[in-house]
């Protein structure tokens, strides 16, 4: 007997809402039943595209007992309030990263959902990519030996897509700029593969985009095991690129978006290509949200992990501002 999909509602309705709604349509676990944003035109357009009900208020969604979950892609600075309202109504929450603009708000979001006994899933789909799962398993099996270094890059060309005044490009809406917006993806992957980051040195620049936010950023990070990693993020490059190179004493994994994965074992004269068939990370992520609701299990990435991951970014921003190494513990303590 097939299970009925979990009925959810989408709120926020920016471009990423459509990306997640497309992913929902690729999993049997969820069904988008309703949508809300303040713009009547935008919610009607979304409703027509995805066959759901446009509603005139968030409160109407929260009062609907048939809706069990919320897909929340509102701006970061309203994540806390919109999630609080959902939790108070007994609705489970899928929240896109970053969890909030501050660690204190992120931890409060996690606490609210935990105490309300609702699931909180955070959108870190990059860790689900098949090549990173493969590396993770080989690291756990000991094939890499001692992990010593890593270098990562996540960069895009946003100049032609810049929206003047959009919250993502303002210091108030996205403090830390590009590193806060897309850096968390690879902070998450680095910590999954290499263990917790303990301190950060950061640098930020504004080179191409208008507005008041950095469009190029770099972090140097020390992990709990002593390994050193670097992460560069940019909205000012010629095109889209992703790099994730992990170096161990016994083996290394060398990945880029355009060349794929290469693997080098100690003693090899050259790395060899490891072919992968790309998986649908977004559909997996949204499907997991439905399974968590139905089966009362915890998501892979919850609020506490997402808040600590945010602390790495916030430490990097503070480091760039103050010109010093910043411990993660300092950010967790102050809630910055």
| Domain residue limits, the chain | 6-125+283-300, 130-278
The CATH-assigned architecture of domain 130-278 is 2-Layer Sandwich (3.30)
CATH class of 6-125+283-300: alpha beta
Q: What percent of the chain has pLDDT over 90?
A: 88
- What is the pLDDT confidence band of residue 133, given thresholds at 50, 70 and 90? very high
Helix 103-116 with 303-322: angle, nearest 10 deg = 170
| pLDDT range class, residue 174, cuts 50, 70, 90 | low
Reported in sequence order, the residue ranges of the chain that DSSP labels E, i.e. its strands, are 6-11, 30-36, 53-54, 69-72, 92-96, 120-123, 147-157, 197-205, 216-223, 228-234, 236-248, 251-256, 260-265, 272-274, 326-327
Distance of CA 8 to the CA centre of its chain: 20
Q: Give the SS3 label for residue 76.
A: helix
Tell me what pLDDT residue 23 has: 98
pTM exceeding 0.85: yes
Which tens digit of pLDDT belongs to each residue from 46-75?
Answer: 999 999 999 999 999 999 999 999 999 999
Mean pLDDT, rounded, of the chain: 94
Give the whole-angstrom CA distance, residue 304 versus residue 133.
Answer: 21
Does pLDDT of 25 surpass 80?
yes
Q: What's the pLDDT tens digit per position in 137-151?
A: 999 999 999 999 999
Whose tokens are 């960069």? That residue is: 155
pLDDT of residue 209: 83
Please indicate whether the domains covering 6-125+283-300 and 130-278 agree at the CATH topology level.
Answer: no
Res 106 pLDDT > 90? yes
Please give the C-alpha separations between residue 62 and each of 3, 78, 120, 313, in angstroms, as whole numbers.
23, 16, 16, 32
Beginning with the edge strand found earlier in the chain, give each strand of the sheet holding 6-11 in spatial order.
53-54, 30-36, 6-11, 69-72, 92-96, 120-123
Residue 170 has pLDDT above 70, yes or no: no
Question: Residue 175's pLDDT is what?
Answer: 66
Which pLDDT value is given to residue 96?
92
Q: pLDDT digit string (tens) for 183-206? A: 999 999 999 999 999 999 999 999
């Amino acid at each position: 007997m097939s299970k009925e999909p979990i009925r959810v509602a989408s709120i926020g309705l920016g471009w990423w809402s459509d990306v997640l709604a497309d992913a929902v349509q690729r999993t049997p676990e969820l069904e988008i039943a309703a949508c809300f944003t303040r713009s009547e035109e935008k919610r009607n357009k979304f409703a027509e595209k995805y066959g759901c009900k446009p509603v005139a208020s968030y409160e109407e969604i929260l009062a609907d007992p048939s809706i069990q979950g919320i897909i929340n892609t509102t701006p970061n600075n309203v994540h806390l309030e919109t999630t609080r309202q959902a939790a108070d109504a007994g609705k489970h929450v899928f929240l896109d990263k970053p969890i909030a603009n501050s660690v204190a708000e992120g931890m409060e979001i996690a606490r609210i959902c935990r105490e309300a006994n609702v699931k909180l899933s955070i959108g870190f789909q990059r860790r689900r990519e098949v090549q990173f799962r493969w590396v993770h398993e080989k690291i756990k099996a000991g094939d890499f030996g001692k992990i010593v270094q890593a270098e990562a890059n996540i960069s895009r060309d946003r100049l032609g897509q810049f929206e003047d005044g959009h919250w993502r490009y303002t210091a108030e809406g996205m403090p830390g700029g590009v590193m806060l917006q897309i850096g968390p993806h690879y902070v998450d992957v680095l910590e999954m593969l290499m263990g917790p980051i303990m301190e950060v040195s950061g640098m930020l620049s504004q080179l191409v985009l208008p507005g008041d936010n950095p469009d190029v950023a770099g972090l140097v990070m020390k992990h709990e095991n002593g390994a050193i990693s670097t992460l560069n993020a940019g909205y000012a490059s010629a095109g889209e690129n992703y790099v994730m190179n992990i170096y161990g004493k016994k083996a290394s994994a060398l990945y880029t978006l355009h060349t794929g994965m290469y693997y080098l074992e100690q003693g090899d004269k050259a790395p060899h290509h490891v072919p992968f068939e790309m998986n649908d990370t977004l559909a997996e992520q949204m499907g997991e949200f439905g399974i968590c609701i139905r089966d009362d299990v915890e998501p892979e990435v919850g609020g506490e992990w997402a808040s600590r991951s945010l602390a790495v970014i916030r430490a990097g921003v503070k480091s760039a501002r103050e010109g010093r190494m910043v411990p993660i513990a300092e950010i967790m303590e102050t809630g910055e």
